[in-house]
Chain A
Amino acid sequence: MTDRRAARIELSGVTKQYGAVTAVRDVSFTIAAGSLVTLLGPSGCGKTTTLRLIAGLETVTSGRIMIGGDDVTALGATDRNVSMVFQSYALFPHMSVLDNVAYGPRVGGRSRRQAAESAREALAGVGLAELADRLPSELSGGQQQRVAIARALVLEPRVLLFDEPLSNLDARLRRQMREEIRALQQRLGITVVYVTHDQEEALGVSDRIIVMNHAVVAQEGPPRDLYESPDDVFVAGFMGETNRVKGVLWRLDERTGRLTIGGLTRTVPHRGLADGTVDVAIRPEAILIVDGQPTGGALRGTVSQAAYLGSRMEYSIASEIGELFVTSPAVDAPLAPGAPVALTLASHGITLIRP
């Protein structure tokens, strides 16, 4: 059963109910072997439950789960060859770091010597070889995280699961740990499912993102697709700040259409929407503040609030098409509230939203 190769994960029609609460409803998706896929969504949308269903810590109410081509729906966590890094790390507080990592091989029936040997190897893999004799309580948060990862990897699982792995770390450490996890995954080529509620983290780490909302999958795709062409209002809003405005669509061909917003026009994918008035989501960085009178027309507006955030400026701008939220990299030339501005639209970051 020990299978060194990464495994593909397939959920079909998976539902999980706790009494009257449906935590996961009819979820289906496939995760390619050797990829890192994030489950992203607001708190309570069912991410953790989905992850625990894959781990075998919960049993499905209905549906089927396949890992590496085997139907594991009826198997318990012990028999799935799937490892998990818990949000709280779940290190055994009464065991040394080495014993924690050696736990899996030990209860799997390997000798004390063999178990300690593979544990040392795994610890070396996360750069903690010299802390083997400490107790978990004597480690920093980041070190505990690494021990948890070593403990999960020592059994060479087919799939590695992370539940909000960075939520207990401080902001500075978070980016470093995220990069380490990504590097480790690429080096070992294992399948990783990664749960987070932070869209930036998801964008930074994933091959693909599965956005969940209210117990169902809202949208699935590569990070760029989700950010730039969200399917609906929820995904658009969850992946980042957006401005929602009305526009008029005129289909040009199979794929694209001409979108008119308050005198500005852009060519965008029409996404199957009919001609006429449509909802549009515009990223704040896709609204450009221009000097003078640009060719091709502009929107007129007045700055109503301005904030300096170090790397960028944030403005609220009252315009002909409504109140707009705009970011600008031009921190050297800040605009004061009351200043009149002309606005145009970038060529990306503008999406039609299905109703």
Chain B
Amino acid sequence: MRDGLRRWALVWSLVGCAGLALAPWYAASDGAGPGKLQLLVPGLALLAALALRNLPLRLGRATLGLRLMVLGGGSFIYIAAQGFAIGGQPGMGLGAAVVATSLVMLFALGLAARGFFKGDAFVAGAVVVVAVLVVFFTLYPVARILLSAVQGSDGAVSGRALAERLFAAKIWRLDCLTGGRSCGVGWNTLVLALLTATTTTALGLAFALVVTRTGFKAKRLLRVLTVLPIITPPFVIGLGLILIFGRSGLVNQLMEWAFAVPPSRWIYGLPGVWLAQTLSFTPVAFLVLIGVVEGVSPSLEEASQTLRADRWQTFSRVSLPLMLPGLANAFLVGFIESIADFGNPIVLGGNFGVLSTEAFFSIVGAQLDQGRAASLGVLLLVLALGAFFVQRRVVGRKVYTAISGKGDGGRPAPLPPFVRRLAFGVALPWTMLTLSIYGMALAGGFVETWGRDYTPTLRHYAKAFSVEWGGTGIIWSGSAWRSFWTTLELASIAAPLTAALGILTAYLLVRQRFAGRAAFEFATMLSFAIPGTVIGVSYILAFNVPPIELTGTGIILIVCFVFRNMPVGLRAGVAAMSQIDGSLDEASRTLGGRSFVTLRRVILPLLRPAVVAALVYSFVRAMTTVSAVIFLVSADYDMATTYIIHRVLNGDYGVAIAYSSVLIVLMLAAIGLIQLLVGERRLRRGAPALEALPTGPIA
């Protein structure tokens, strides 16, 4: 039974040998093979691993394990080291990837044989693979961006270069206060984030109170509204705002026509971005706060009322203080979303630059200053991680859950009339605004030129999505098709990978105890906190050069999607798996099911809703993300969102809007389809399982 381990060692050695012999070592196809030196070590190691099959059983597992670890780990390090050390090599290719994978697996089997991970080969392999992936695709790029930020223009590492860049006057100047030019992007980012966090928290609380504490009928509608920003590309709100409040938007035209007021440009800048971000991120705050409001145990409020407190006293002295940590959490989430946001500031910012847009312009613009982009990225990273850690501490204390024991029935206290009126007075107009912006954004695709000529037309759709029948079949002549198919293809590849990696990692974190688990969790959660712009810049810095040369390929986009979105699957998996009693796993183990069997037959079937959620989210987010992707697209691999952004930057709103609408419809269809395919498993006849859809920052 435990020879499974030897069998897997044999399998992986053979896979490695096959990769070495049959697949090209380098990615570049122009012949130049690797030197003998590069191949000799891994080749010998793999042959030695093959020979371990004949290792006498009496030498025991510890010996076998040690040898596997040395062979696998040693030659993996050798491959990596020579890749970084020997310049002038092309980027590594399929052969190198296969060999490296098999060596990693041999190392993991060695760990299992030596009794780590309770001797479980599957768990060992999974942990090591996830760890290696996170190191290469999250930690290494971040290390590269840090390195670039401390390197002066001559390439030498110096603290002064970093200090100069981080505290450059351009980032931190305060001219705008003294009536001069605009303020530095550092201040802009901070002020915007604080404003957005405040408004999203207040609005989110109003919505949460309306939904949970009043007899409001259209609760489902509000819940649906919260899904909208998840399936909306992040600049759609910005586009809608331009159509309403922009220079040639409805409001300005009305004012000019009625009162001869000259058109105002107030929407382009801080007010516009603030409004757009508030519209975009209020649903996220709402989702955070609805749990918080529901978490306030009704029996505490009833207790307060039986002690002769009136509604207002109950609300202000009991309910609100209990919600405080949750409000703090919502505030920090809003803060993090705001500083990571790229889509809204780039559409509406105008001269109002923030860190993310500034980093973008210093890499793609005329400046082409990677060092500056890197240091802006580092600043952004510091802010994001800082807020992230504060948030984790706030949430970690969990003051607002499980305050009173189980068995809480009781009805939540009705809101004080004043609070009730306030909540409704804020939530309802805001809902109308959101709806009209979406309506406007949809309508904008069907008129000739917004602001000048409102003749209905399908021209924009035709331009983007026209199809012709030529002699050889269908010709996709519309200008958007290319990026459309690329997006669809890459998102379809990335979604299952993302979901699998996220759920697997969740399984390891929730269900396995192993040395280094805390560090493992930290690393996987870290990628969650890194703003997309930082990922974009750091991927360019890390993967533009051998040994891992990926820029310009579709792979880099897929890798980016997988590691940007994996935490969403991870969170969905962790949340769902924590609900599954651990004794189910244990029952399976005592009945003879090993970890992989247990995962496949017991846990995965119960995780279906989480798997669906992870699939949907990774697909949708791959289609809607802008911030990281805009750095990584290439002529061959253009994405829908970046295509739209470029249309917007060119002032070509019609096509941009038409394309955005198509994306939204497509994503609704995709969500429906995935739901249908994966299906829903009922554990109780009659009552379908409610699934909680997780949300995460969309940047």
B contact residues vs A (CB 8 Å cutoff): 1, 118-120, 581, 583-584, 586-594, 597, 601-602, 605-606, 681, 683-685
CA distance A108 to B606 in the complex (A): 21
Establish whether residues B591 and A103, one from each chain, have CB atoms under 8 Å apart when the complex forms.
yes
Q: A86-B583, A88-B583 are in contact. Are A77 and B605 (CB under 8 A)?
A: no
Contact for B591 among A79, A87, A107, A137, CB less than 8 A: A107
Contact for A94 among B583, B586, B594, B683, CB less than 8 A: B683
Establish whether residues A90 and B583, one from each chain, have CB atoms under 8 Å apart when the complex forms.
yes
A contact residues vs B (CB 8 Å cutoff): 55-57, 59, 76-80, 82-84, 86-88, 90-94, 103-104, 107-108, 135, 137-138, 151-152, 155
Between-chain CB contacts (< 8 Å), 26 pairs: A55-B590, A76-B120, A76-B589, A77-B586, A77-B589, A78-B590, A78-B592, A82-B590, A83-B590, A84-B586, A86-B583, A90-B583, A90-B586, A92-B602, A94-B683, A103-B593, A103-B601, A107-B591, A107-B597, A135-B683, A135-B684, A137-B684, A137-B685, A138-B684, A151-B587, A151-B591
Contact for B589 among A57, A88, A137, A151, CB less than 8 A: A57
CA distance A93 to B601 in the complex (A): 12
Contact for A93 among B589, B591, B683, CB less than 8 A: B683
In the assembled complex, which residues on chain A have CB atoms less than 8 Å from the CB atom of B583? Answer: 86-88, 90
Q: A82-B590, A90-B584 are in contact. List 18 more A-B contacts (CB 8 A).
A: A55-B586, A55-B590, A56-B589, A57-B589, A78-B593, A84-B587, A86-B583, A88-B583, A90-B586, A92-B584, A92-B606, A93-B606, A103-B588, A135-B685, A138-B685, A152-B591, A155-B591, A155-B592
In the assembled complex, which residues on chain B have CB atoms less than 8 Å from the CB atom of A84? Answer: 586-587, 590
In the assembled complex, which residues on chain A have CB atoms less than 8 Å from the CB atom of B589? Answer: 56-57, 76-78
Establish whether residues A78 and B594, one from each chain, have CB atoms under 8 Å apart when the complex forms.
yes
Establish whether residues A88 and B592, one from each chain, have CB atoms under 8 Å apart when the complex forms.
no
- Chain A: which residue is nearest B592 at the CB level? A108
CA distance A8 to B1 in the complex (A): 23
Q: A59-B118, A78-B594, A103-B601 are in contact. Are A86 and B606 (CB under 8 A)?
A: no
Establish whether residues A104 and B606, one from each chain, have CB atoms under 8 Å apart when the complex forms.
no
Tell which of A91, A92, A108, A152 has the most Cβ of chain B within 10 Å: A92
CA distance A87 to B586 in the complex (A): 12
CA distance A302 to B118 in the complex (A): 64
**Nearest chain A CB to B112's CB is how many angstroms away?**
12
Establish whether residues A107 and B592, one from each chain, have CB atoms under 8 Å apart when the complex forms.
yes
CA distance A152 to B587 in the complex (A): 9
CA distance A76 to B583 in the complex (A): 15
Tell which of A87, A103, A151 has the most Cβ of chain B within 10 Å: A103
- Chain A: which residue is nearest B608 at the CB level? A94
- Chain A: which residue is nearest B602 at the CB level? A92
CA distance A93 to B581 in the complex (A): 11
**Nearest chain B CB to A132's CB is how many angstroms away?**
16
In the assembled complex, which residues on chain B have CB atoms less than 8 Å from the CB atom of A77? Answer: 586, 589-590
In the assembled complex, which residues on chain A have CB atoms less than 8 Å from the CB atom of B594? Answer: 78
**Nearest chain A CB to B405's CB is how many angstroms away?**
16
In the assembled complex, which residues on chain A have CB atoms less than 8 Å from the CB atom of B584? Answer: 90, 92
- Chain A: which residue is nearest B580 at the CB level? A93
Task: Kindly list the 7 A-B residue pairs having the minimum CB-CB distance in the complex, ordered from nearest.
Answer: A104-B591, A90-B583, A90-B587, A77-B589, A93-B683, A107-B593, A86-B583
Tell which of A59, A88, A90 has the most Cβ of chain B within 10 Å: A90
In the assembled complex, which residues on chain A have CB atoms less than 8 Å from the CB atom of B606? Answer: 92-94
Contact for B605 among A82, A87, A94, A151, CB less than 8 A: A94
- Chain A: which residue is nearest B591 at the CB level? A104
Establish whether residues A88 and B581, one from each chain, have CB atoms under 8 Å apart when the complex forms.
yes
In the assembled complex, which residues on chain B have CB atoms less than 8 Å from the CB atom of A108? Answer: 592
In the assembled complex, which residues on chain B have CB atoms less than 8 Å from the CB atom of A82? Answer: 590
- Chain B: which residue is nearest A151 at the CB level? B591
In the assembled complex, which residues on chain B have CB atoms less than 8 Å from the CB atom of A86? Answer: 583, 586-587
CA distance A108 to B594 in the complex (A): 10
In the assembled complex, which residues on chain A have CB atoms less than 8 Å from the CB atom of B591? Answer: 83, 103-104, 107, 151-152, 155
CA distance A104 to B592 in the complex (A): 6
CA distance A91 to B684 in the complex (A): 13
CA distance A77 to B598 in the complex (A): 13
- Chain A: which residue is nearest B582 at the CB level? A90
CA distance A152 to B120 in the complex (A): 23
In the assembled complex, which residues on chain B have CB atoms less than 8 Å from the CB atom of A90? Answer: 581, 583-584, 586-587
In the assembled complex, which residues on chain A have CB atoms less than 8 Å from the CB atom of B586? Answer: 55, 57, 77, 84, 86, 90
CA distance A103 to B601 in the complex (A): 9
CA distance A87 to B685 in the complex (A): 24
Q: A57-B586, A76-B119 are in contact. Are A94 and B681 (CB under 8 A)?
A: yes
In the assembled complex, which residues on chain B have CB atoms less than 8 Å from the CB atom of A92? Answer: 584, 587-588, 602, 606
- Chain B: which residue is nearest A138 at the CB level? B685
CA distance A59 to B116 in the complex (A): 13
In the assembled complex, which residues on chain B have CB atoms less than 8 Å from the CB atom of A87? Answer: 583
CA distance A59 to B513 in the complex (A): 12
CA distance A5 to B581 in the complex (A): 32
- Chain A: which residue is nearest B115 at the CB level? A74
In the assembled complex, which residues on chain A have CB atoms less than 8 Å from the CB atom of B601? Answer: 103, 107
**Nearest chain B CB to A81's CB is how many angstroms away?**
9
In the assembled complex, which residues on chain B have CB atoms less than 8 Å from the CB atom of A152? Answer: 590-591
In the assembled complex, which residues on chain B have CB atoms less than 8 Å from the CB atom of A151? Answer: 587, 591
CA distance A92 to B588 in the complex (A): 9
